[in-house]
Structure formats: structure tokens, C-alpha cells
Amino acid sequence: MDLARFWNFSAGPSMLPDPVLNQISIDILDWNSTGISVADINHRSKHFEIIYNEAESYLRSLLELSSDYCILFMQGGGQGANAIVPMNMIGRNRANKADFIISGYWSSKSYLEACRYGDVSVIADNSYITKIDDHDYDPYTWFPANESIKTRYGSSYLQFCSNETINGVEFVDWSGIANNINSDAVLVVDASSNLLTRKLDINCTGVVFACAQKNAGISGVTIFIVRKDLIGKALHICPSIFDYMNIFNEHSRYNTPPVFAIYVTGLVLKWLKMNGGIKRMEYSNLEKSQLLYNFIDSTSFYINKIHSSVRSRVNIPFFLSNNLLTDIFIEKAENLGLMNIRGHRSLGGLRASIYNAMPIDGVMALINYMRDFECYYG
Ligand SMILES: *Cc1c(COP(=O)(O)O)cnc(C)c1O
């Protein structure tokens, strides 16, 4: 069935691929010719066993995960992970220490939450104006240099966000950081908005987490990729349902998991696999984002201030040089079916989130609209 749909540029929950929605519409009434709705399926049933195993094995193969890592499906969203991580990780080394890189909105939130659990410090940040190649860069538009990133003695982990969904700063040289830090610390990465959008060096990390509603399904489930030797070190205050050990031992069914959300994640992963996997997504996301950045850079009517080396391929914030036109830009975009283009409330302006499921036609439609708008108002 062809779906009549708008172009949804939302940062999350974001658009799902059409084939996934079509499959859901069938399974919601009758999953796999069992006569059971996928929404009714019991988490201890053999049906869910199939759904779960499929989701896990697609994820494993798409990410080419080594057997050193396990996959945990947990709840609490990206922000839940901000507490789950320190509760499981900060006590590894006796000092109860963790270090952070601040690069924007989400890493700041992660840091503040972690402070409740131990001695937590910001060891590098981009919250000030800096000069690069004789040009001034605003706070949260660049990324600290690898050489400046050193962990403190006794620190259990270093956490950063690999794609600041709101600010539009993406950082992917994970191994560059891993090589620099103390050997007793591991990397923890919030990859909520760029996991599965390009090749990422998971093998140099301790933990990678991502809430599903950006690139891997709907809200309600968070993917954790955890190096197995890091499991079993949770603080005793950690709730049992958030202890990696329990989730690992019970194959993410320590309590009732988000059955429907895991099911949708499985469908999205299958769609990814059928459509060329990470390699193909990386190519397509590069192509889409270059089209949009090239257009923005070709005119002074639109502005994106992010340093070119860390411009996000999936979340592209931009401003109109005349900010007074922002509301009318959004209103006219919506009239044409270009939805959810307003920037995050903390930043203002505009933002186009163009994750895996956004076809190049959607990006072209946006660019054509931007060109027309400039012709009229510029
Ligand atoms: C969306 C997002 C979060 C927050 O996720 P919730 O599921 O809403 O808690 C955290 N980090 C990043 C990078 C995100 O994009």
C-alpha cells in the first residue's frame, strides 16, 4: 500500500520507513498468521522469543558486534540511561569517579544526572567561543581536540555524546579518544541519534546506548551495547530492573519488556538489513546532508554555524538571517507538508532531522521550498 504522508523532519520520535508501517498494520490484527495481535503477545511466549531473537540478531549483524559485547533492551529512554550508566559503571574503580565531555544540550544533561552518583567532572567542553583557522566559533558549534581529552586518575569511564541532536554537532573519532585516556577508564557513548546511521567504532567502547525513537523504532525501548566484562559492578542503590546483570541474565525479560517497541525495532532493523545495511545508510546520509549543507552555504539567507568537521549528517539546525521570518517559514512549510521543522525550544531557529528513513526526495522537497522562500522574501 502506498501511504499518503507528509515529510516528517522531527528529531524524535521520527519517521518510520513505509514498509515498516505497512507491516505493523498487518501484524496489529494478526501476527504471523497466529490469530494473535502483536500488541497482545505475552513476553514469555514462543512468539515473543522469535521477535526478540530476530531483533537481537539483526542488530548484532548490522553493527558487526564481537562476542565481547552483549545487547540489552531496557526502558527509561535516553535520559534514563543517564542514571542507569553511572549506577552500573561508576563503582568499577573504587574512587566512584567519572569524566565527561560537554558538547551540547544532551551531554550537559547526562553530566548533571551523573553528578548524583559520585565524583563527576567535565574534562573537556565547547561551551565557549573559540578561534579555529582565524574564525570565531560559537559555543556548541565545534568539538574539543583529542589531545585535550585526558581522564582523571581512577576514573571509571569517560562519557560523551556522539551526535548532539539539538545542536547538530557530530563526533565520530571514538578511537582517537580511546587511545588517549587512562587504561583503567572505558568510553561510554550516547549514540541515541546516530547509531545505525554510519559506521561507528563500537569496539573501542565500554558501553554505547541509544533510545530507539530516532533511528531504531519507536519510543519505549533503549538499546544498550555493553562490554560483557563490565557487567556486575552496579552500586547497591541501583534498582534491580536497571542492573545490567539482571537484564543480561534474563535476556532483557527480567520484568515485562516493552514488547511492542522491541517488535518495531526488529522491523526497522530488518528494513535496514534489506536495504543495504549501515554502508548504504552511511552513503545516503552523507549524500542527503551534503545537499542540504551545500544549499545552506550557498546563500547568506540561511545560516548553519557548526564547524565543517563536526557537522551532523542527521540533525541539521539552521537559522534564517532574518529571524523575524522564522514563524512564517514554518507555517508555509507545513502548508506544503514539510512538518516539524521548528528548532528545539532551547535553541530556536529551524532544524531538519534527516535520519535513515528520510528519503532523498524529502530533502529535495525541503531545499526547493527553501529556495522559493528565499526568492520571495530574500
Ligand atoms: C533524544 C535523545 C535523548 C533523550 O531521549 P529520551 O528517550 O527522550 O529520554 C538523549 N540523548 C540524545 C543524544 C538524544 O538524541
The answer to whether 255 is annotated as binding is yes
| Residue 3 pLDDT > 80 | no
The CATH fold of domain 31-274: Aspartate Aminotransferase; domain 2 (3.40.640)
Q: For a pLDDT cut of 70, what percent of the chain falls above it?
A: 99
Please report the atom of ligand 1 found closest to the CA of residue 161. Answer: 13
Spacing, Cα 299 to ligand 1 middle (Å): 32
C-alpha cell at 83: 542514571
Transcribe 253-271 into DSSP letters.
-SS---HHHHHHHHHHHHH
**How remote is the C-alpha of 157 from its chain's centroid?**
20
CB 203 within 8 A of CB 66: yes
Give pTM, 2 decimals: 0.97
Mutation probe of ligand 1 site: the residue of 103, 105, 106 with most atoms within 8 A of C-beta: 106
pLDDT band at 4 (very low <50, low <70, confident <90, very high): low
Task: For residue 352, give the H/E element and its range.
Answer: strand 350-353
Using CA atoms, how far apart are residues 126 and 69, in angstroms rounded to an integer?
31
Residues identified as active-site: 106, 190, 214
31-274 with 277-377: one CATH topology? no
In whole angstroms, how large is the CA radius of gyration of the chain?
21
User: Going by DSSP bridges, is the β-strand pair 207-211/222-227 parallel, antiparallel, or unpaired?
Assistant: antiparallel
* Domain residue ranges of the chain, discontinuous segments joined by +: 31-274, 277-377
Q: What is the 3-state secondary structure (H, E, C) of 277-302?
A: HHHHHHHHHHHHHHHHHHHHHCCCCE
The CATH fold of domain 277-377: Aspartate Aminotransferase, domain 1 (3.90.1150)
| Residue 2 pLDDT > 80 | no
For the stretch 193-235, pLDDT in tens is 999 999 999 999 999 999 999 999 999 999 999 999 999 999 9
Mean pLDDT within 1-30: 90
| Residue 5 pLDDT > 90 | no
Spacing, Cα 371 to ligand 1 middle (Å): 32
For the stretch 256-285, pLDDT in tens is 999 999 999 999 999 999 999 999 999 999
Using CA atoms, how far apart are residues 240 and 218, in angstroms rounded to an integer?
25
